[in-house]
């Protein structure tokens, strides 16, 4: 069902696990548990129970009638991940991994977060599933995201501000890994995107594939055929791999990932080992990761999940870039025509659809993954529009 490669977690040349020995042992134990539970009927039943009763799945595949008519080309459908509890796709993966943690007998979950979205999703589901939760966050991010810190604390999580290093996301990852190695018997490290050493990219693929399993069933019901294209935004790659996965074998379905031009990992990256796995990465001449600067916090990452690097190199998926200006226009356009304020991340996918749809026939179909809602972004968009960027 997915590209889960037999042994070592490689997608072509990409992926793998480049970590110290102690951590390798922890990852192997995780891999064994994942392989055992991914096909366990009881586990799956529980996972789908929480998706339905807590997350609110299945969510709709909404026909964007006004946007379609306005653009005058392909019929556009929106996969409504914005309607999930907590307002984005991240919760699908979080619920799955916490369930796995409990099956493995873990007493606590740890995670790192940058802007706070993954931390809030993790703290949310940990509260519901009654498991101890610690979130590592760089001190700079703690300062900038004080409301998200408060949310996590309301949900009962402990937020640890990381002062080491530069106090950024990378330093939070390092501290979380230290915690994991010291407490591996009781602790589960929950990764929020399709990145990291094996087996994380495959685990996240697995738990996000519910997006395209639903959308495929829904489009067949509504249109009686598969879409011509599926479009999703790409940060680390989890909503995109979830939106693509059920169509990977359907070679006539174009799979398109949209990146910010300021963080165009797949368009401009080169192979490198970063954060324990081999993938494409934006780097300088000396091979150091380049800083990125997207208006969407969730896309602000110089690396990318290894499966996307493979899909790009093998030609199965296409990756395009969109500019800040196009994203802000798309954000406003879909707000006005469809009454949906999208996350800035999702507006990257919409921005590409606005270019793509008019070039396609009227009987073609595009599914765009609306990865999240935009409430978190309205203040920032107001500021950007006033600056007239």
Ligand X SMILES: *Cc1c(COP(=O)(O)O)cnc(C)c1O
What are the catalytic residues? 90, 112, 371
Shortest Cβ distance from residue 182 to ligand X (Å)? 27
By CB under 6 A, name the binding residues for ligand X.
88, 90, 117, 193, 233-240, 298-299, 343, 345-346, 371-372
**For the packed helices 90-103 and 41-50, what is the interaxial angle rounded to 10 degrees?**
140
Contact predicate 186/108, CB 8 Å: yes
Distance CA 62, CA 308 (A): 26
Distance CA 245, CA 242 (A): 6
Q: Minimal CB distance to ligand X: which residue?
A: 372
Gap between the terminal Cα atoms of the chain: 43
Residue number, 169 or 360, with CB nearest to ligand X: 169
Residue number, 147 or 225, with CB nearest to ligand X: 147
* HSE, side-chain direction, 13 A CA sphere, residue 96: 26
Shortest Cβ distance from residue 348 to ligand X (Å)? 8
Residue number, 59 or 239, with CB nearest to ligand X: 239
Residue number, 64 or 240, with CB nearest to ligand X: 240
**Distance (Å) of CA 285 to CA 217, 269, 274, 282, 289:** 46, 12, 15, 10, 10
Residue number, 184 or 289, with CB nearest to ligand X: 289
* Three-class secondary structure of residue 189 per DSSP: strand
Contact predicate 242/212, CB 8 Å: yes
**Distance (Å) of CA 30 to CA 73, 288, 362:** 46, 29, 47
Residue number, 322 or 360, with CB nearest to ligand X: 322
Contact predicate 235/193, CB 8 Å: yes
Shortest Cβ distance from residue 297 to ligand X (Å)? 8
As a dihedral over the C-alpha atoms of residue 236, residue 157, residue 176, residue 287, rounded to 10 degrees, the angle is 30
Distance CA 217, CA 77 (A): 13
Shortest Cβ distance from residue 71 to ligand X (Å)? 22
Residue number, 279 or 346, with CB nearest to ligand X: 346
Shortest Cβ distance from residue 286 to ligand X (Å)? 27
Q: Which residues contact 312 (CB under 8 A, 6 or more apart)?
A: 266, 280, 318, 319
* The token pair that represents 85 in the structure block: 């509890």
Shortest Cβ distance from residue 107 to ligand X (Å)? 27
């Amino acid at each position: 069902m997915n590209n889960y490669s037999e042994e070592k977690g490689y997608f072509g040349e990409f992926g793998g696990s480049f970590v110290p020995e102690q951590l390798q042992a922890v990852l192997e134990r995780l891999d064994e548990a994942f392989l055992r539970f991914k096909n366990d009927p009881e586990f799956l039943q529980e996972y789908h129970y929480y998706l339905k009763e807590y997350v609110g799945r299945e969510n709709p595949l909404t026909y964007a009638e006004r946007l379609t008519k306005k653009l005058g080309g392909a019929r556009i459908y929106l996969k409504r991940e914005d309607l999930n509890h907590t307002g984005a796709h991240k919760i699908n993966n979080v619920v799955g991994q916490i369930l796995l943690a409990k099956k493995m007998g873990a007493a606590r979950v740890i995670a790192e977060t940058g802007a706070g979205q993954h931390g809030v999703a993790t703290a949310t589901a940990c509260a519901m599933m009654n498991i101890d939760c610690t979130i590592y966050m760089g001190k700079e991010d703690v300062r900038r995201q004080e409301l998200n810190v408060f949310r996590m604390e309301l949900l009962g999580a402990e937020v640890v501000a990381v002062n080491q290093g530069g106090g950024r996301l990378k330093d939070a990852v390092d501290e979380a890994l230290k915690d994991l190695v010291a407490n591996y018997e009781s602790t589960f490290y929950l990764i929020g995107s399709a990145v990291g050493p094996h087996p994380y990219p495959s685990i996240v693929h697995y738990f996000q594939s519910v997006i395209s399993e639903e959308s495929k069933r829904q489009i067949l019901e509504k249109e009686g055929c598969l879409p011509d294209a599926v479009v999703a935004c790409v940060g680390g790659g989890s909503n995109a791999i979830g939106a693509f996965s059920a169509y990977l074998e359907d070679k006539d379905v174009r799979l398109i990932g949209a990146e910010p031009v300021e963080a165009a990992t797949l368009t401009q990256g080169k192979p490198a080992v970063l954060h324990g796995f081999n993938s494409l990465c934006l780097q300088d001449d000396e091979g150091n990761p380049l800083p990125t600067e997207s208006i969407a916090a969730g896309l602000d990452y110089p690396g990318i999940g290894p499966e996307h690097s493979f899909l790009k190199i093998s030609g199965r998926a296409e990756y395009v870039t969109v500019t800040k200006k196009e994203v802000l226009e798309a954000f406003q356009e879909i707000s006005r025509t469809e009454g949906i304020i999208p996350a800035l991340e999702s507006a990257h996918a919409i921005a590409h659809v606005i270019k793509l749809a008019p070039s396609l026939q009227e009987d073609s179909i595009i599914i765009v993954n609306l990865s999240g809602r935009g409430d978190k972004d309205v203040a920032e968009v107001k500021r950007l529009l006033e600056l007239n960027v």
